[in-house]
Amino acid sequence: MVKLEQAKIIATNITKATFNSEVTTSMKFDTNFLFGAAGDVIELDAWVPENAIEQIDTLNADPSKILRSRVNNDYNGPKAGYEYNVIPEAWNIPNHTESLGSLLYQKGDFLAPHRDKWRQVTPEGITGDSFRMICHLNHTNSAEFHFVVDGKIFKPEARRWYAINTRKVHYGFSFVFPGHSILSLYTSS
């Protein structure tokens, strides 16, 4: 190691570290660790294609691609939402992604404050670890759409993916027509 002291360079001894392969740690890399270390909103270097809205419109028009959906007046939140049984290959989404969904907000639509489930209770105990990645496709200006995570307004960059700690209370509401589109990926470890 070399340190600079009063314009002189002084060499100091280096202690060589050894690795004991028999020692293990009980620390597990999971979403508690991830969001605890990196924060509740993690900007990813991952983007959807520029024509993602057109691709979503194409998916929505093909009933064979829709796993389930909700339509007007059947949900107290965005009036249109879809979960797909396919993820576009050109999007280079991680293999452990379990589902792709979209929420289509119109002026006045909102997603009520809530937390997402991230583990499962089974006869074997509490299992699983998952999180949600979201991508706001358009209308990301705060005057057009608000997305709030843990009481803080989140200002996303259009078409960029973010890992979101949805165990924290989150919600959104739209001020524009035509509406705001959000993509959501559910992933598990």
Q: Is residue 134 in some structural domain?
A: yes
Interatomic CA distance for residues 65 and 63, integer angstroms: 5
Q: Is residue 68 in some structural domain?
A: yes
Q: Is residue 169 in some structural domain?
A: yes
Read out DSSP for 85-97? S---GGG---TTE
Q: Is residue 151 in some structural domain?
A: yes
Count other C-beta atoms under 10 Å from residue 87's C-beta: 16
Per-10-residue mean pLDDT of the chain, 189 residues long, equals: 43 51 61 84 90 89 88 62 82 75 85 78 70 86 90 91 88 84 70
Q: Is residue 4 in some structural domain?
A: no
Domain residue limits at 123: 28-188
Q: Is residue 8 in some structural domain?
A: no
Q: What is the pLDDT of residues 51-97, one digit of tens each?
A: 988 988 898 899 999 888 876 555 556 667 888 888 887 777 766 67
CATH number at residue 65: 2.60.120.10
How many domains is the chain partitioned into structurally? Answer: 1
